[in-house]
Chains A and B, each alone.
Chain A
Amino acid sequence: MDSDLSTQDKKDLDKFIKFFALKTVQVIVQARLGEKICTRSSPSPTGSDWFNLAIKDIPEVTHEAKKILAGQLPGIGHSMCVEISLKTSEGDSMELETWCLEINEKCDKDIKVSYTVYDRLSVLLKSLLAVTRVTPAYKLSRKQGHDYVILYRIYFGEVQMRGLGEGFQTVRVGVVGTPVGTVTLSCAYRTNLALMSNRQFERSAPIMGIIVDHFVDPPCGSQRPANMGQPCNYRYPVHKATDDDDGEAFAGVQDSQEVCTTSFSTSPPSQCFCTLSPSPSKLSKALPLDNPQFPLVPGLVTHPLLSYQPAVLAGTPELCHTAANPSQTLHAGKEDGVLHPAQPYHGTEAHLTVEHMPNIPGSRGDNDIFSHSGEGRRSTSPSDLVETLNALTRKVGAFVNKPNARLSATMDLPFAAFAPRGLDSEDNDPMVHPPDSPSCMSPLQASLHSQGSDGSGQQDDFVMVDFRPAFSKDDLLPMDLGTFYREFQNPPQLGSVSLHISSQSMADDLVDSLPEKLAIYERNIDEFDAFVDMLQ
């Protein structure tokens, strides 16, 4: 079959397939960055946009894809696959989908390479753009952030779909027949998004039962796994892609390699793992002015999504990525345990409750909250917190009715030092029965007049305050305010206020003295008249 193909056509076809593979990886990865993509149309051909589509290249992605291809092309039995997975802040990961570019043996010898194959590959890329937005992983990728990140992995060889769980679905994006085989692009995506914890420590409750508030740090330290990654932030310069990009300057690769050497993990030789980390030298690099139509870059700059792993020499088989967010947590999704990038209000509410629980003695629902939060990132175990709560409830608060409690200055009681001593019953309660004499030394009095009083020894833990109530003079009445209040809170009634005595006496007086007074007034009536005349 190849002999029927001219040399030029064969060369062109190889080039088309190579760049189609590279663009496929770019489209898939960029669709999982979590940002909306926007590129501008250009009426004039730029000569650098393969398949007449404005698909900008992320240099690191291109570099890694080339490393995977290692000069070979996807062929029969050698598929190029892009695996998209999710990794939580707890270290759990889950494969979401696998995109597969493969070539089978079915050839179309009559098809024209120069335009028909090229045009159909362009249509297939457009289909890929559309389909990458409709698989379930797209919505997850749009909502990634502190709770989880989306990773990608490129590998060459046989398609691996075991990690997609049961009931995964497949969708065929499209096929393009060529003289050397039929190019097929397809996607297998997970349908069961329930994330189960694979960790070996403590409980085995589903991850989705955990509610952790990522705004509040655990009070007693973190239990996050040591290899928990952080979202990545990176900037990359926009390079103009050329038809032959072998000579393309790619300074960013060196930086990522330097960073990646510190985070390698083992991987099969045919796989390429890469961790994308920020390159300090690239962080502030401005966009080229000749490419203002690529607003994708600011979105890529700020978004912590992209992460992949470079070729690994040795290390742990776990995926790892270096990011910068110190507080990744996991949100609880719906109650059915399906992973959803749900709103964090559940976690916030629950964690705030946990946080404030020690301040509310006797609060309910402690055990409920812990059972709900299961394997969360708790710093204290449930038993520790319950014990703390019990200890708190034993304490006597200022407003707690504990009549039988023996009060002592050492108790955690506001103004306990000022309370009378030796009170066991209400009969001895000075609040009920004021003392007869002020001879009982109050702690305040002791502190004011003698530093060596008996009460001072018990008041070593307390700071004595010179208590001078307004208008009180200790020298006239040597008693404290409390005693003063108790003594004079029941003053005797005024005699004139007493109705039953005063009213009776006044009436009697009136009855008895009235006639005499009238007689006097009648005798002196002339004097009264003269007085009145004088006033007029």
Chain B
Amino acid sequence: MRLSFKNNLTMNCRSELLEVTVEARQVEESILSLLHTILLHRSTGKFHYKKEGTYSIGTVGTVDIDCDYIDFTFVKISSEELDRVIKKAVVEFKDALNISGSDGIGQISLEFYQKKKSRWPFSDECIPWEVWNIKVNVVNLANEQERQICREKVGEKLCEKVINIVEVINRHDYVPKMPTQSEVDNVFDTSLREVQPYLHKITYQITDSLGTSVSTTMRRLIKDTLAL
């Protein structure tokens, strides 16, 4: 993981923003549900290339997940490896959000990119073609009744977000074309055993309650320290 600012390198990259307001304990599940819904659509079975440029595709299974703190059920791809990677990223984001303060605002981004081979000594270029930004507002609730209402409301909101995701996906905007065997690693993440999502990375950005980003705060601290 690294802190990074959203930066679209190409004009073809489309960016979608999903905003949710949740309680602290709902952060993880709400983000996981949205990321998995996106990855469900942006993953295929494993490619098996045959002779004459043909290939066959493996089968993708799905799993229903009931949230513990939200009245919501989402569908994710059946892949433990992918689950671990996504959960690790979300937990890091959640922890960073907790450290920043109780009313912190954060944004976690799922970026799909494809690699463009460059000649030596230049490294391969990562060209994003789709970015999903999930902005999270964390609120504190006073009592159990509010939490129960929040549980239902957040569930309804996530239902709307899923429908938003589906609408975007089914516009069938640009997606990388199916690669040849030599190019498959430039388009898909072939490191997983069971499924093959498009190349992607997850980044996040935290804004504390003062409205400043963590990186800005760190720079200020360093400057103050050096000034002494």
* Residues of A that sit less than 8 Å from B by CB: 36-46, 49, 52-54, 115, 120, 122-124, 126-127, 129-131, 133-135, 138-139, 142, 171-177, 293
Contacts and interface: CB of A to CB of B under 8 A. Distances in A.
B170 A127 contact: yes
Interface of B: 37, 40-41, 44-46, 48, 56-66, 71, 73-75, 77-79, 158-159, 162-163, 165-167, 169-170, 172, 178, 193-195
B46 A43 contact: yes
Nearest to B158: A134
A224 to B, nearest CB: 32
Contacts of B57: 45, 52
Contacts of B193: 43
Nearest to B156: A134
Contacts of A43: 45-46, 58, 193-194
7 closest cross-chain pairs (CB), A and B: A174-B170, A134-B159, A36-B64, A39-B61, A41-B194, A54-B61, A42-B59
Given A123-B170, A130-B165, 10 more contacts: A36-B65, A36-B73, A37-B62, A41-B79, A42-B58, A44-B48, A45-B45, A45-B57, A127-B170, A133-B64
A36 B74 CA distance: 10
Given A41-B61, A42-B194, A175-B170, A131 B74 contact: no
Contacts of A49: 59
A497 to B, nearest CB: 69
A144 to B, nearest CB: 15
Given A52-B58, A171-B163, A37 B64 contact: yes
Given A41-B59, A53-B62, A127-B169, A138 B41 contact: no
Contact of A41 (B78, B158, B163, B170): B78
A172 B167 contact: yes
Contacts of B56: 45
A54 B178 contact: no
A53 B60 CA distance: 5
A139 to B, nearest CB: 7
A131 B167 CA distance: 11
B160 to A, nearest CB: 8
A173 B170 contact: yes
A512 B62 CA distance: 117
B75 A52 contact: no
Contact of B162 (A130, A175, A177): A130
A78 B132 CA distance: 37
Given A40-B61, A123-B169, A174-B169, A134 B163 contact: yes
B20 to A, nearest CB: 14
Contacts of A44: 46, 48, 58
Given A43-B58, A126-B41, A131 B163 contact: yes
Contacts of A53: 59-60, 62
